[in-house]
Amino acid sequence: MNFRPGLEGVVAVQTKLSDIDGDNGKLIFRGYHADQLAKQYNFEEAVHLLLYGRLPEPLELRQLKDKLAKERQLSERLKNLMNDLPEEMEMMAVLRTCISAMESQPAWPPTVEEAIRIIAIIPSILTYRYRQVNNLDPIPPKQDLDHVANYLYMMKGELPKASHVRALNAYFVLTAEHGMNAATFTSRVITSTESDLFSAITGAIGAMKGPLHGGAPSEVMKMLHDIGTIDNAEPWLRKALENRQKLMGFGHRVYKTNDPRSVALRDITGDLSTEDDWFAIARHVENTAITLLEEYKPGRKLYTNVEFYAAAVFRAVDLPEMLYTPTFTASRAAGWCAHVLEQAENNRIFRPLSEYTGPVKLK
């Protein structure tokens, strides 16, 4: 038996959902390149692909959109629950609490209908709570808007710009699924006990809440704010590298070349550059940082990851920082639900071994 810290390199699951080729910078969702999906399809179509195994026909897409729209409305019970929670309670903790409170009775096996309910309700929970703690009246969902557009609408109370919807939709598609990460593994472990879907997603949210998993865009935003201008990019980055500081948004545990999600976001959000100087700064910082990283850390193959352009997208669509990780969660819930359904199809409870390193019995 070989001990692998963090189970790194251990294959624990066979899946048809996604494949990550870190050496060649490719991410595949059920046979489709994720970057192409983000450029050509909306989030609902990606959800259908993950949950049902194929892209929808027009009628199927309409039916899925209708189901998601129907499930957006918050129950009075969930509203009252959020009203009673402490105002200082962190947003991910609020979301975790609300999802756990949705369970009506333990159900096995999990169903697609339950998955749709969870995917639909998360933006409603987030926007209700955001407006609540900021002393703003809640905005009811607009049933004729697509999933991402409705999220922005419920947050701001006004119809979002098409370019903003396109940018955030691309982010939602690209981050909907990403292999056996910590939160996804958590959801499958819980499911393997024949627990219900709501418990599995509650556990996944708990894993995502950790700063090593879901918090990176906030650190990128802080770095870009500190840099501030194009002229300050190279001096700031050089100083950081000389002080052995990590450049947030660069490098990835899996990808040894360009993160395909970052490349896709950069391409898709190109039209936002004319609306927001932030993107011009972000692109200049990216180019400068990659050049300097090769100079200071030759051969390390450190490129922009998805968190870098996620921060740029979040800033452009004026997403409050308290919603950064929760928004990541809103997209990734689709992948979690798909993994739960897949785990239930051919279930075996997870039971890895442990290696004892404590003292031997004393005589």
- Give, as one character, the DSSP assignment of residue 45: H
Pairing of strands 18-21, 26-29: antiparallel
Q: Count H helices and E strands in the chain, helices first.
A: 17, 3
Q: Which of 48, 147, 178, 252 is catalytic?
A: 252
Beta bridge partners of 14: none
**Separation CA 181–CA 185 (nearest Å):** 6
Catalytic residue check, 48: no
Q: Is 14 helix (H, G, I), strand (E, B) or coil?
A: coil
- Copy the structure tokens of residue 28: 């595949």
Element spanning 27, H or E: strand 26-29
| 252 has catalytic annotation | yes
Q: Catalytic: which of 44, 177, 307, 342?
A: 307
Helix (H) or strand (E) holding 28: strand 26-29
Instruction: Output 12-17 pairs: Cβ under 8 A, ≥24 positions apart.
Output: 12/180, 12/185, 12/350, 12/352, 13/180, 13/185, 13/188, 13/343, 15/180, 15/339, 15/342, 16/53, 16/342, 17/50, 17/177, 17/335, 17/338, 17/339, 17/342
Closest by Cα among 340, 324, 60, 34 to 202: 340
Active-site amino acid positions: 252, 307
